[in-house]
Structure 1
């Protein structure tokens, strides 16, 4: 069967500043929370590897963009580092950063690769974190100023802007489950950070729209469908609450300009509702996005809780559901994640039926593999498993588009194997293999396959 995609479909990949640039203490960059956390707790990082070098994109952006072109990219999403551009989060703009981002954006455009630029990808400047991070309303204003600075500097060339990448992750990691700095475990504070992130998003959207530039602005959400174990009422309720907390807490305000009433009532009932101020609701209503980036890796499967919550337990999302392992599920044995390709279609269908079918694209999808070197043959990684993974997701994506979903692109995570937060280089995701010793890049079999797909705008 022929899977042909719409004209002008965007084929590419995604990365982020912290995960690819390196030069963490060069070029006038200020410290971010990852630089700081590594200094204080290197043991929390796989093999104690920091992001100091990452995949050296800061030094090699020009040749790397050529490599993107070589495998047929017509688009690439990365982020601007707030702490590189404005080292203290507010105040002076760093001219070396302006120079770097100008050169990078210009090089992408010269090579025919459309820049998709995200403003915040988990990398809070340390100076801002010291003021409370997104718990502080002062920091929200600083973020809005930073966003406006980016629009002024680069908005004449960047037409696709995103305020945040996976904003629920710093909430989960930093304030609920202790896998990101500042390692707080407190639902009420987590809810405040989530709420304030939406306010920051809306401020940036409002400023962008006031400037009347000829681009679009959106947000990138990791929309993970919450599948119930069964049609039993208790399982359905568990899946619904899971969906409210992890998906709709950002999707509804970003797309509809308001929070789900059900979520508000639930948090109110348990005294976990963040503090609203006058004008907050109006601000959120003004922050509706033009488009949406969708990150999808694996499904979330849930069931009703099997045991009562301990009366002294900290309030957590898991008060309302248990996770469920579906028998016979398809697995990525190298990463321990379920592979469920239809999830991407279910997300598109939900957006079409319940969210006005706004323009969207798959901003991340990918397959992490630990110990990928074992698949080297004749100097190349033979990652047929990754080709199959992408192909099966693209088939479901194609079906969604055929049924009317407004999806305009697909970006794999990632272009070159990159540094991945506390996992460092444990799991490899790239189209290009990165040799950590020499920093040499070598195309994998999947990269060559993807070049054909993008050049043909589809596959057989």
Structure 2
């Protein structure tokens, strides 16, 4: 029997822009996603944009009732900055009422809300000022955070500042999967710095607000980095990938500093971000209480084909490696490696003061999932049950060895909209029918997980 600690948080994760819909009503202003879809709808899968997504804005009570039916005791979502402060300054009373009602509905049904502030949805008014490239964005974010804490801090006691900050940096400034879809490593470094400065300023705002009797965190994708071999060049490549993609965020959030090696190589390459002398103190004094970890698959790397100094981008330090022995999710193309959760836990234990943490996302995306629907309309997703149980076994081992992991949240509760991919890949405990009034139907995993929750473990 795999038994988990008392009061373990069993739940799911989602975000405002991927679930709420109602993108153009009740005072909400546009985000980068709203504007990008307006400009280039052909880039979005099936032409489905962020306007309606999963209609949670209107159906949140149904979702919470389904959470209660499963026995879930927690749920992580986000606030839409564009809804709460449409112009960045003025509180939207309809947003205040919606979020208070939504969070209170959870609480009244035994579901603790864990609330994140930023999930890739940059307000368009701020993007026009330069987005995260502009230093003023850090103060705008701190004001937004302060407003959220004052509005909801009496009922929300677990907060996060950012979800996977690496993603909006890498996809928007080293690729074209997020707006503004530029490829400029120096600009990406500046965006990363301002993002983490905004995070630290938000933590400071939390410490100074009257409802600071809870805890605040950041949610990071902590995929462990594995080298192709133990050859010196491959091991060095893994070290650099880890510094750039993991330690740059984790060291800053937990220890209040940046890795010295990373700072030095950026300086050598004339890639250092613009900073202020006062920033060091802000970072040092505003570290997190716990960490959220999103884990889907590991990062496997090898030595670059043409090492170059000074560096001009990640390709000069490492490149990806396709492990031929990997177990694969054939429906999504991602590697399945449950051991990664255990390795993350041990790293947090050994290198980060064994800080409390939880799995804030883990899950399995499957396209054309209706292939597995039975005669009763239930998706028989035994593949997802196997995936989750394997990862929970690895997590259980880590907890048995002293890791203070306090929860597991699957991505996601009800199938949600996924940026450029819309509803191509499904992840939820509940299936969403876009052709039938956003009807929610439980999948087989929802019944399996309800039993896990009821017994706080499984055989």
TM-score where L is the length of structure 2: 0.98
Alpha-carbon distance between aligned partners in 2 of 1:302 and 1:48, rounded to the nearest angstrom = 34
The equivalent of 2:441 in structure 1 is 442
What residue is the counterpart of 1:193 in the other structure? 191
Displacement of 1:306 in angstroms is 3.0
Partner residue of 2:159? 161
Distance 1:163 1:247 in 2: 17
In 1, Cα distance between equivalents of 2:234 and 2:409: 33
1:333 maps to 330
1:414 pairs, out of 412, 415, 421, with 412
Paired residues for 1:238-317 under 5 Å: 238-307=237-306, 315-317=312-314
Q: Structure 2 matches for 1:180-219, cutoff 5 A?
A: 180-212=178-210, 213-219=212-218
Q: Distance in 2 between matches of 1:61 and 1:411?
A: 18
Q: Is 1:15 aligned with 2:14?
A: yes
Alpha-carbon distance between aligned partners in 2 of 1:306 and 1:125, rounded to the nearest angstrom: 39
Unaligned runs of 5+ in 2: none
SS at match of 2:208: helix
Q: Report the Cα distance in structure 1 between the residues aligned to 2:386 and 2:62, rounded to whole angstroms.
A: 28
The answer (yes or no) to whether the contact 2:311–2:317 under 8 Å persists in 1 is no
Matches of 1:84 and 1:319, distance apart in 2: 41
2:321 match:
324
Contact 2:141 / 2:198 at 8 angstroms: preserved in 1? yes
3-state SS of paired residue (1:381): coil
1:190 and 1:133 mapped to 2: Cα distance? 12
Q: Distance in 2 between matches of 1:187 and 1:5?
A: 43
Residue number in structure 2 paired with 1:120: 118
- Written as runs of structure 1 = structure 2, the 5 A alignment for 1:351-390 is 351-378=348-375, 379-390=377-388
Residue 31 of structure 1 corresponds to 30
Task: Give 3-state SS (helix, strand or coil) of 1:409's partner.
Answer: strand
Counterpart check, 1:348 vs 2:345: yes
- Superposition deviation, residue 314 in structure 1: 9.2
Shift of 1:308: 5.1
Q: Does 1:173 align with 2:184?
A: no
The range that moved more, 318-327 or 151-160, is 318-327
Q: Deviations over 1:400-458 (max 9, x none)?
A: 00000010000000001100011111100000011111111100000110011111100
Deviates more, 1:271-280 or 1:289-298: 271-280
| Preserved contact between residue 257 and residue 284 of structure 2 (Cα < 8 Å) | yes
Q: How far off is 1:242 after superposition?
A: 0.5
Query: SS at 1:156's partner residue?
Result: coil
How far apart, in 1, do the equivalents of 2:396 and 2:122 lie?
36
- Please say if 1:455 is aligned against 2:454: yes
Distance in 1 between residues matched to 2:306 and 2:270, nearest whole Å: 22
Counterpart Cα distance in 2 of 1:352 and 1:388: 27
Given that residues 173 and 180 in structure 2 are in contact (C-alpha distance below 8 angstroms), is that contact kept between their aligned partners in structure 1? yes
Residue aligned with 2:325, SS: coil
RMSD: 1.2
Runs (5+) with no aligned partner, structure 1: none
